[in-house]
Structure 1
Amino acid sequence: MSRALLIIDVQNDFTEGGALGVDGGAAVAAGVSRLLEAHPDAYDLVVASRDWHDADNDNGGHFAGEQAPDFVATWPEHCVAGTPGAEYHSDLATDAIDIHVQKGQGQPAYSIFEGTTPDGETLSQVLADRGITDIDVVGLATDYCVRASALDAIEHGQHVRVLTDLVAGVADESSASALAELAHAGADVVDSSVVAA
């Protein structure tokens, strides 16, 4: 068994004060760092994703532009490549990250599996090359990119755990619904105490 940790979109624009900040985002950044510090040998691979959107277009309709965003398919401008909002939150221990994945890049993208590494590899390729069979998912936001990433991991045949104390969502109801959906799809919805077990 080889286990990877997927850290989803712990970026300034998704944490408090950002363009699409969620309550608890900064706490997730700090909590993930504590987890990695306390259990440095728990993961064979640590992968982090970032939304990495183009500045000069609407990213395939992802940015609402002049229209009011519907916060379902269209959003205010966020995580534009090279801006402070697209950077990892300062409380996230980026030195523990083995692989960085950028997603978006001109089109809507929610799942880490839709992104690529700087070398152009997909996460599916990376996981297959490393023989990863088990995945823990943490990050932002529970009801959007965490949900999509965990569902894709299950679809790719991984055994998935979502660590509920290390995710934060846009809204309580949709976050609870996302976790229930993930459990139904086969994920273990547990807190991070399982990492020490």
Structure 2
Amino acid sequence: MSRGLIVVDVQNDFCEGGSVPVAGGARLATAIADLVERSAGGDYAYVVATRDHHIDPGTHFSDDPDFRDSFPVHCVVGEAGGEFHPGFAPVVTGGKVDAVFFKGAHSASKSGFEGFDAQGAPLADWLRARGVEDLDVVGIATDHCVRATALDAVAAGFRARVLLDYSVGVASDTTAAAVQDFHRAGVAVSGETPTR
């Protein structure tokens, strides 16, 4: 049995200065990088990251977004907003992240479990092939893509835990609702509940 870490969408567009910024995203990018540096090969047998990777996601992009199902244009393939934040990117380029899973080319695809690596392997298959059974999930945003990834992890048969100290939500009410969803689904929760 081994434990893996999923780092969700620590990308420029989701941090301050991006097209869909989440307050605290830049600080979180550095904190997650520190977690990976301390834990890769120790607490975690494998570390993976997800990336929003949009080409034409249809109604997910909107000029009049509701910020639930539709958002301003973000994380477009080939643009700087879709790249990993500079606070996190060095652990990826430095080989501390074992694989990156791209999601949302032609759909919203909030969950990392809808993503594929560069060889076309889906996240669940990649993890199972390496004997991973337990997962910690961190990243941006607690009430959107972190939520979807953690819930899908449990649905796929993994034991999942969200580390709230290493996640940040868009809004306090939706973040609190996500934490309740975690409890109902059997996702463990660790850390303080952030206000945002």
* TM-score in terms of structure 1 length: 0.91
Residue 37 of structure 1: CA displacement? 2.0
Aligned equivalent of 2:85, options 78, 84, 89: 89
1:47 corresponds to 2:51: no
Residue 182 of structure 1: CA displacement? 0.5
CA contact (8 A) 2:4 2:135 kept: yes
Question: Residues of 2 paired with 1:39 and 1:128: CA distance?
Answer: 20
Q: Counterpart of 1:106 in 2: which secondary structure? A: coil
Q: Deviations over 1:63-106 (max 9, x none)?
A: 11xx4111111111000011110000111121311010000111
CA contact (8 A) 2:36 2:47 kept: no
Q: Deviations over 1:21-57 (max 9, x none)?
A: 1011112111111112223311111110000001xx4
Question: Residues of 1 paired with 2:36 and 2:126: CA distance?
Answer: 20
Question: What amino acid does structure 1 have at the position aligned with 2:61?
Answer: F
Aligned to 2:122: 122
1:164 corresponds to 2:160: no
Q: Counterpart of 2:144 in 1: which secondary structure? A: helix
Aligned to 2:153: 153
Question: Residues of 1 paired with 2:104 and 2:38: CA distance?
Answer: 32
Question: Residues of 1 paired with 2:97 and 2:164: CA distance?
Answer: 20
Aligned to 2:73: 77
Question: Residues of 2 paired with 1:81 and 1:149: CA distance?
Answer: 21
Identity %: 44
1:186 corresponds to 2:186: yes
Structure 2: which 5+ residue stretches go unaligned?
A: none
Question: Residues of 2 paired with 1:139 and 1:153: CA distance?
Answer: 15
Question: Residues of 2 paired with 1:91 and 1:154: CA distance?
Answer: 29
Q: Counterpart of 1:21 in 2: which secondary structure? A: coil
Aligned to 2:64: 68
Question: Residues of 2 paired with 1:43 and 1:166: CA distance?
Answer: 15
Question: Residues of 1 paired with 2:37 and 2:64: CA distance?
Answer: 42
Question: What amino acid does structure 2 have at the position aligned with 1:61?
Answer: T
Structure 1: which 5+ residue stretches go unaligned?
A: 193-197
